[in-house]
Amino acid sequence: MDYSKATNQQLYEIALDQGARMTERYTAAKELQERKLANAICRY
């Protein structure tokens, strides 16, 4: 899956899915964190 093209909602669902592989959950959480940081930087 290309996490950079997933919506925030999809990433949240993957990150919280107990049945998903840990690497998938980590990658989804990392993508969300990077997006949050990018939004914070763009605002200033």
Greater confidence (40 vs 8) lies with: 8
Greater confidence (3 vs 41) lies with: 3
How many Cβ atoms from other residues are within 10 Å of residue 7's Cβ?
A: 8
Range 8-35 average pLDDT: 97
pTM: 0.85
Query: Residues 18-28: pLDDT tens digits?
Result: 999 999 999 99
d(CA 8, CA 1): 14
CB 15 within 8 A of CB 30: no
